[in-house]
Amino acid sequence: MGTRRNYQRRATGNDSPLHVLPVVADLIDYTLNLTDNAKHFPKKIRFTIVNRIQERVLSIYENLLEANEIFPIRNESDKAKRLELQRAALTDCKLLLFYIELSKKRGYIDTGTFEYWAKKTLDVKFMSAAWYKSEQEPAEKAQAGPDEEHN
């Protein structure tokens, strides 16, 4: 990876490090190591479950990075696209959690692996949700107008 640092860019002009991307990168590494292991995931399910798991985890990173790259936010279209990408990442997290649960039910992973993998995914989901919520609040205040803020 490059040396460029990623920042969570906010409409207020304050930039803070985007902490979720390294956490997602760690989740990707763990997921690929686990799903590439034939002891856990036999080759016969490569095209049904494993590919979907790997696509989801990579999609989370892609969506969050693309959302972060929409800066400065110049118009409502930029804002809507950024929120859409963040929502897509959250949906990918939910799908990944489903696939992790399915892997446990089908016996591909044990309880300890399930809990660790799910926790890593939930960390990403909660960090992404917090970023999404922080992006929504300024938009909601702007839509409310100055009269409604004082009530």
Burial class of residue 39, CB neighbours in 10 A (0-12, 13-18, 19+): exposed
- Residue among 86, 95, 76 at smallest CA distance from 129: 86
Condensed to tens digits (0 to 9), the pLDDT of residues 91-113 reads: 999 999 999 999 999 999 999 99
Q: Which residues are bridge partners to 8 per DSSP?
A: 16
Q: Mean pLDDT over residues 75-99, rounded?
A: 97
* Amino acid at the residue 87: R
Residue 77 has pLDDT above 80, yes or no: yes
Give the integer Cα–Cα distance in Å for 17 and 86.
16
Residue 8 has pLDDT above 70, yes or no: no
Q: Which residues are bridge partners to 19 per DSSP?
A: none
Task: Place 150 in a pLDDT band, splitting at 50, 70 and 90.
Answer: very low
